A and B are shown apart, each in its own frame.
Chain A
Amino acid sequence: MSAPHVLIRIGGEGGEGIISTGDLLSRAASRQGLCIMTYRTYPAEIKGGLAQFQMKLASDPIRSIGLRFQHLMAFNQEALDAFHDGMLKGGTIYYDPAECPDLSKVSGEIERVPIPLTDLAKEKGGSIRGKNMVALGFLSRLASVDLETVAGLVREKFKRKGEKVLDSNLASLNAGYDLGDQTIDGRGVKLTPKSQRGQSIVISGNEATMLGALAAGCKYMAGYPITPASSILEFATRHLPRFGGTVVQAEDEISAMASCIGASFVGKKAMTATSGPGLMLKGELITLASTQELPVVIIDVQRGGPSTGLPTKQEQSDLKFAIYGTAGEAPKIVVAPATVEDCFYLTAKAFSLAEEYQMPVIVLSDTNLAVRTETVPEFDVSRVDVAERLRPTPEQMKDYKRYEDTPTGVSPIIDPGTPGGLHIAPGLEHDEYGTPCYTGVNHTKMNAKRFRKLETLSKRAEEWMADWAPVEGAELCIIGWGSTKGAIQEACQMAAERGIRVSHFHPRIVAPLPEAQIREALSKVKKVIVVEENFTGQFSHFLKAKFKFDPVEVLRSMGVPITPDEVLEEIVKVHETLHPAKPQGASYAHR
């Protein structure tokens, strides 16, 4: 069974401090050496609407958080009504009686404990705005998180707001904790920290992404505000100037992309970050970078689509656009981080690939990774090894061809301003010198040259390209991509506990596909299950076209991450089709 952990959800109106309550509690738990993973949904509106913050605290590293929980803190009736059926058996609802008059919908073995958030905040802290602090104090006691650690974080958060505000918040916090002391007995959770403080950090996928870019030597970032990618741009504006980089909030998505290509043209490592609607706008310029063979990194934090879609919800539905979504045939590399840790190392890797293969690299992150926070081992910058652009030899400089047709497809690149390196970077089809040339022969030759770079890459078969967990004797293999990894891993483990052996293949590079590795994964099993969070099975289509097989598709477009239970259910179903239960008396029928 799974390791000891506690699952808490906090729900209420956006703007009431739901997110900051969860954030402070999980950070305090992490400071005590616990592992955390958080998941949040928030309304697209800035104030109002239903928001929730879920956290999992555990002694051991956490792979997935699921959607169910043991403890619910309901700030209002709407949260109570919306979330009570996510409770695990034997769970407890804590509710604010001033805001939740009607408990009639809650049924089953669920304990109900009133916590007067509003009244206590008013009485002890002098303002109802402190009710999230009451909740924070109470939950700290529930999860056995040290009050002083929490209070320290509250002090950090409110130090700029003046003593009065801070005192009021601390008073509410203490009141909540004291109430917990009186109320919680057997329900309290005690988790033993295993890691030492300083070995791990708590960070979101978006922060990890931008840190990875900084580690890789990114020196130019341009973006345009878009949920859920904006925090990458925000992080960049704050930190890039400390590393000799330049950041611009552009006037639109197209401009952001164009200016990155400009920066790359003069030799800088450049990136932009966006979400689906922005990726579409950038499409035009992604083809330009592809044909001009300029390195550039595009972070696409996927959200629910199409169009404006579900801006704050989870979906993995930009894959086809990322791979194919251009007019004309423009090679590009697509990678997909599966964890917050991946966001760091794989983004850094994306810069390396872009420089090495001189083409756009799209990093397909998603809402789940972007906004969740997670305990991860402190990033090791020495593991980041970024390739540099191929430069011409003195021999090549004698007759410099910017688009020289080489065996790898990669040509030497030179920065403008270098004597003797004069060249055009054209959007028109061109010859090896960069001079526009529209003959069919030349077009075919240059297409072959550009696409040869992808072949060169797909043959590399390096370890980072995929996570491959083969299980001896497994008949089933699950293939997933991106942030579904943790849920699949847990499901495979649960299946193993039931005696069903399942292998798991999870590529980090999705285009070009790591062919040899996938063939190996496919060769050893009877049935393949492809898991993805979209409606049409985008990755599955891509695999089927390439490898000609017939997988079972497990597709979800619910706006929330798939859970281990859902994956397990599918594993069991497929297992049963391979091993149907023998009907009674069947053995006689064949005599």
Chain B
Amino acid sequence: MSADVIAPPPPENPTEDWLREERIPHIWCPGCGIGTSVNCFTQALEESKLDRDNVVIVSGIGCTGRVAGYLKLDSFHTTHGRPIPFATGLKLANPKLKVIVYSGDGDLFAIGGNHFFHAARRNVDMTVICVNNMTYGMTGGQVTPTTPIGAKATTSPFGNIEEPFNLPFIAHSCGAVYVARWTSFHVRQLTKAIRDAIAKPGFTFVEVISPCPTLFSRRNRLGDGLDAMKFYKAHSEIRNGADTREVAISHQSKIICGKFVDITRTTWHDAQAAHLHRVMGNRFVPPRNWEHLIKSDPMEDLVAETIRDSSGDGS
């Protein structure tokens, strides 16, 4: 090669390194908040200094479901509503992986609702990021379980009458150890929330309130993406530690943001490893990749204590 070959220029955008550029342009509409959330997510990963080979991203179906396909990570694009059970198996089979579920409100809380409740209950170590745009974007703007009362959708043409889910409250009451909500306007806080959620062992949940200018805002005469940003700026109230029962969102009213839950609870893996070790003794053979769980087990002392106390053969 000739001597005048110049080194490639440094990436113009810090997220470039995380994207599968051959797949760009993405499918998201102008003004959509999903791309913003992806920026925050990649920034959070960058700051987390995780080994990229050990991060797996799983998504379901829908506009947000496309996130997995654009990221330069081992990605799994599952069927509608199933990213969480898929991620559960993935995580339980190889606990060394850092597992992130990235999907939308319809995917995670309508068709996939049951899975969310149980993964949170079990405290499977994963981070769930839900981009809540209050509508099914990819199928044309139908009502979802988070559409506020009064808002219009193609399947609620005269306005929605159903009470929407309060997602932080659901996550909290089902057992999530970390629950935060930010809007796509709060990019710094959102980045930090995602970083903290990923770092924290256990089932962690971040809700991202995001506009859907094409299908939600337009139908409800709320303007474009910029208007949504202005609205979030004017109507968001940061209330860290707020009682999750009181953070429900009504149509075009105050959005309470912040970190609502940050607690510690034994994860499924730790509990399982400790318990089986206790009741089965040496007959329990930890799966490959579990060894570190047995050694660094927060319940180790408890286990040792219980084994000392048990007089039988451990069966």
Contact = CB atoms under 8 A, between A and B. Distances in A.
15 contacts: A222-B89, A246-B92, A250-B85, A251-B118, A255-B84, A261-B89, A263-B90, A267-B94, A288-B79, A417-B53, A421-B74, A422-B72, A422-B73, A425-B76, A426-B77
B92 A255 contact: no
* Residue of A288, A415, A418 ringed by the most chain B CB atoms within 10 A: A288
A424 B287 contact: no
B75 A419 contact: no
B74 to A, nearest CB: 4
Contacts of A256: 85
B286 to A, nearest CB: 7
Given A424-B68, A424-B76, A262 B93 contact: yes
A191 to B, nearest CB: 35
B285 A288 contact: no
Given A259-B88, A287-B79, 4 more contacts: A242-B280, A266-B56, A266-B94, A423-B74
Contact of B85 (A255, A265, A270, A419): A255
A260 B94 contact: no
Contacts of B165: none
A251 B117 contact: yes
A415 B20 CA distance: 19
B192 interface: no
Contacts of A334: none
Nearest to A420: B53
A428 interface: yes
* Residue of B23, B61, B285 ringed by the most chain A CB atoms within 10 A: B285
Contacts of B88: 248, 250, 255, 258-259, 262
Interface string B73-113: 11111110010111111111110110000000000000000
Nearest to B111: A254
Contacts of B56: 266, 416-417
A522 to B, nearest CB: 40
B115 interface: yes
* Residue of A244, A270, A422, A424 ringed by the most chain B CB atoms within 10 A: A424
B193 to A, nearest CB: 25
B48 interface: no
Interface string A406-441: 000000000111110111111110000001100000
Nearest to A284: B79
A261 B287 contact: no
B247 interface: no
B90 A244 contact: no
A258 B85 contact: yes
Contacts of B77: 424-428
B89 A258 contact: yes
A527 interface: no
Contacts of B97: 266, 416-417
A520 interface: no
Contact of B74 (A241, A243, A255, A417): A417
A254 B90 contact: no
Nearest to B75: A424
Interface string A212-224: 0000000110100
A245 interface: yes
Say whether chain A's binding surface is mostly helix, strand, loop, or mixed: mixed
A285 interface: yes
A167 interface: no
Contacts of A418: 53
A254 to B, nearest CB: 7
A123 interface: no
Contacts of A419: 53
B313 interface: no
Contacts of A244: 285-288
A111 interface: no
B69 interface: yes
A241 B79 contact: no
Contacts of A248: 88-89, 92
Nearest to B114: A251
A254 B93 contact: no
Contact of B89 (A245, A252, A259): A259
B313 to A, nearest CB: 13
Contact of B86 (A245, A259, A268): A259
Nearest to A246: B92
Contacts of B114: 251-252, 255
Given A248-B88, A258-B78, A435 B94 contact: no
A436 B68 CA distance: 12
B255 to A, nearest CB: 30
A289 B74 CA distance: 16
Nearest to B96: A417
Range for the number of chain B residues in contact with chain A: 35 or more
Given A244-B285, A248-B92, A416 B74 contact: yes
A262 B87 contact: yes
Contacts, number: 148
B253 interface: no
B229 interface: no
B118 A242 contact: no
A262 B150 CA distance: 39
A426 B59 CA distance: 10
Contacts of B170: none
Interface string A257-286: 111111111111010000000000000110
Contacts of B287: 219, 244-246
Nearest to B72: A422
Interface string A224-251: 0000000000000000011111101011
B22 interface: yes
Nearest to B70: A424
B89 A270 contact: yes
Given A251-B114, A428-B77, A220 B85 contact: no
A114 B288 CA distance: 60
A243 B285 contact: yes
A435 B22 contact: yes
A83 to B, nearest CB: 39
Nearest to B269: A246
Given A241-B280, A248-B92, A425-B77, A285 B82 contact: yes
Nearest to A257: B85
A425 B78 CA distance: 8
Nearest to A294: B76
A261 B79 CA distance: 11
Contacts of A222: 89
B175 to A, nearest CB: 13
Nearest to B83: A258
Nearest to A260: B89
Contacts of A415: 94
A346 B53 CA distance: 36
B308 interface: no
B77 to A, nearest CB: 4
B251 interface: no
Contacts of B75: 423-425
Contacts of A257: 85
Given A254-B85, A255-B118, A417-B54, A262 B79 contact: no
B49 interface: no
Contact of B94 (A242, A417, A423): A417
B276 interface: yes
Given A261-B86, A270-B93, A422-B74, A251 B115 contact: yes
Contacts of A421: 74
Given A241-B280, A258-B82, A284-B79, A436 B69 contact: yes
A243 B288 CA distance: 10
B304 to A, nearest CB: 19
Interface string B260-278: 0000000000001000100
Contacts of A416: 53, 56, 74, 97
A262 B79 CA distance: 12
B221 interface: no
A259 B124 CA distance: 12
A159 B97 CA distance: 45
Contacts of B93: 219-220, 246, 262-263, 266-268, 270
